[in-house]
Amino acid sequence: MDRFLRAKAAAPEDEETLVILLEEAIEEIKVNTYTLARCQLQKIYRLKEMLRRKMHCLDAIGVFLKHDKEAEEAWEKLVAGPGTNIVRHFFYKAEDHTPTAFATTATIKAAIMGKATTTVLVGGR
C-alpha cells in the first residue's frame, strides 16, 4: 500500500501504474490478513488445549455484511444474543443459581463493538 500511496502523491496522472500498484497492494493486504487470521486461530487452538476448556465461537461476519438496522439485528441474532446466553450459563451454573456477576446484551455489546474482531470466545467448563 505504501508504494501505491507514494506513487499517487508523486504522479497522480499515471493511471496505468497506479492501477497495477493498487492491485498489488490489495493482494498484499489479503495475504497479510490470511496470515494474521491463521496465526490467531493457532493461538486460540493452543489456548483451548492448554486450558482444557470448552470454547464457544460466535461468528460476526454476517454483521459486517449488513448495514444500519439490518446490522444491528444481525448483531443481536448472531453475537449479542448467543454471547449473552453463554455468559449467563457460565455465571448461573452454580448449584444455588446465584449469579456471581450479570451481563446484559447491552453490556456485552458495548464491551465488544469497538473492537476489530469477528469472533468472540467465552470459556466455560
pLDDT for 110 equals: 58
Give helix 15-51 / helix 2-10 axis angle, nearest 10°.
160
Residues 37-89 have pLDDT tens digits of 999 989 988 988 888 878 888 889 999 999 999 999 999 999 999 999 988 88
3-state secondary structure of 82: helix
Q: Please tell me the number of Cα atoms within 13 Å of 48 on its side-chain side.
A: 12
Asked if 14 and 41 touch (Cβ cutoff 8 Å), the reply is: no
CA 69 remoteness from chain centre: 19
| pLDDT at residue 99 is higher than 80 | no
Asked if 4 and 21 touch (Cβ cutoff 8 Å), the reply is: yes
**Phi then psi dihedrals of residue 12, to 5 deg:** -65, -15
Query: What's this model's pTM, rounded to 2 decimal places?
Result: 0.52
- Residue in 38, 28, 37, 34 with CA at minimum distance from that of residue 4: 28
Asked if 124 and 56 touch (Cβ cutoff 8 Å), the reply is: yes
